[in-house]
Structure 1
Amino acid sequence: MSKRDDMNNVSSSLTETYEEHTLKIDGEKVAAAGLSTAQISQAINPNKKATVLTTIKKDDKDIDVEVQSSVKAPKEFDDVLKQTIKTPTGEAIALSKLVKVENGTTANSVSRSQGKVYATVSGKVTDKDISKASSAVQAKVDKIDTPKSVTIDTGGVTEDMNSAFSQLGLAMVAAIALVYLILVITFGEGLAPLAILFSLPVTVIGSIIALLIANEPIDVSTMIGLLMLIGIVVTNAIVLVDRIIHKEHEGLEMREAIIEAGATRLRPILMTALATIGALIPLAIGAEGSGLISKGLGITVIGGLISSTALTLVIVPLMYELLSKLLKKKRNVIVDD
């Protein structure tokens, strides 16, 4: 992380460490000396409790009489290894002959969360494309070979973004399902609403191309823009399909109804799209103070509107006619004499 140009202030809770020495008791040597593991631990324990010999009374109070060792706790690690332990035969053996020393380092503090010990590595993303930096860091993290008992999780802005993306993704799916349900109820059938929904993929393509041209990242604001486009684009498609169905009811053949609807609905669809695009241009330009939130949203909606407006007049009628033929839909045509 510290080597990346788009990140700074990288720090870790493990930056400040101190030396740690682990003493592992040599079972064979301890057993040969006639000692036990408990005796070794007790001998080197710096927090030895004083031995209470008896209790006396003074001023109607019980006072313990304790015997404390005059041996002071070692100040250096070498002094620990020089400590001697007496065997049952009275022989004094240095601790260094009974243990193996493993040197290492440990954190100067231990943090716990939900009963688990954890350490943190944090950094500040300086680039506006936070998702790109997060993905690059995550790719490096995935290559780390960690023990089974160790897990690596992301937090901070990355966690918030992932949560927001998940929520907005679910919101988009729910919005599409709700729009389809409303259209089915309105049109009284499932064919026309299905043809209308085919305008949405074209919208996404236009939005992505616009973001690439503007060199804008896909973030929360762009996802909100896509969510807005579902309602805007579907409205234009509804106007077109409703006109087609209306003309079919008047007695026109499907192809003739499509051509007539495209010609008569072209102007209102273009006017709606141009008015919306014009209103979003200030957001897409993104002034110094407001660009952080609104620029991506504006570009997303403008790109989606341009592509959907240009192709809705082609894709939606085409899918309507294709689905009608595939499903062999029978219509009751009302002919006005």
Structure 2
Amino acid sequence: MVDDGQLMAQIGVWARELGFSQIGVSGVDLSLAEPRFLDWLAKGYHGSLHYMERHGTKRTRPAELLPGTLSVITARMPYLPRDAPSDWAARELQRLQRPQEGVVSLYARGRDYHKVVRGRLNKLCERIAEAIGPFGHRAFTDSAPVLEKELARLSGQGWQGRHGLVLSRDAGSMFFLGEIYVDFALTPTAPVTDHCGTCTACIDVCPTQAIVAPGVVDARRCISYLTIENKGAIPEALRAQMGNHIYGCDDCQTICPWNKYARKTEVADFDERSPLVGRQLVDLFLWDEETFLRRTEGGPIRRINHERWLRNVAVALGNALRQASGEEAQAIRTALRARRDHPSELVREHVAWALQQG
């Protein structure tokens, strides 16, 4: 075991310089979480995320993923934009009351966090190597079979809230998680206790009732999964409940009382991009593929491609049409009819459904 007290203090300084708000350390024994994870898989809550099954126990046994791993350094990076107003949560909830405005999750309005967080974790590894010499390691952020929420919980980054996300008393849940698997032993930091109390706000607010038990999310019903991970048709029974969400969903976070303590990022990459914020659905539906690629360059939305973008916006337009009248309703119908003969069967199906809504 390295003399880690001074080392961890120095790692904390370097981490803050790189935009991380907190560093922790976990061991590699995730045996308490493994049965829960396997039960979640057995119930099919992962939907079409078949890679979760293929990786077997690598997700719950870090040393199987990276042989020689003895400790895990965990990191937290806030993503609330630098210019977010103090009443950001109330403003986000207000967006849901404007049915003709497309709503994109906060984390997806800036640059792709995978590249940003992993790049900074790798820089942190370089600084550690300068201090202690070469060491075996690998950095992750939502990019490999890593049980990151359990590692975050074990290392004191927070507790797992009823919405399934990691919650902190001093930072809410508006942050990205990252991990560095290392081949030397560090003293683990202590976990924190659960502070959800009797609150069920996140469960109650979920439009599709995807939180099937405290801390358990059925991805097949989750709007984030449906608009991002799901590659096929959105189940018709859930479309009306999706409202104007077109990429991801923050409802369970914006309603959470702990997010009044959410911190702003210091990373310019997470600043909001204007083409994705406060835009009318009709305008977004007019984007051709070239426009879509240009306006989502460098961001996570690109991963769903133009076809699924149109699918998502079509559903939101159908929901808006149900509430619209007069010229507004006519504008929605005109936009939808322009895509009625789209080459993609997926797009055509969702356009047809949307036109039936009003």
Please indicate the TM-score interval, normalised by the length of the shorter structure: under 0.3
Q: Larger relative contact order (C-alpha < 8 A, sep ≥ 6)?
A: 2
TM-score calculated relative to the size of structure 1 = 0.25
Q: Which has the higher strand share?
A: 1
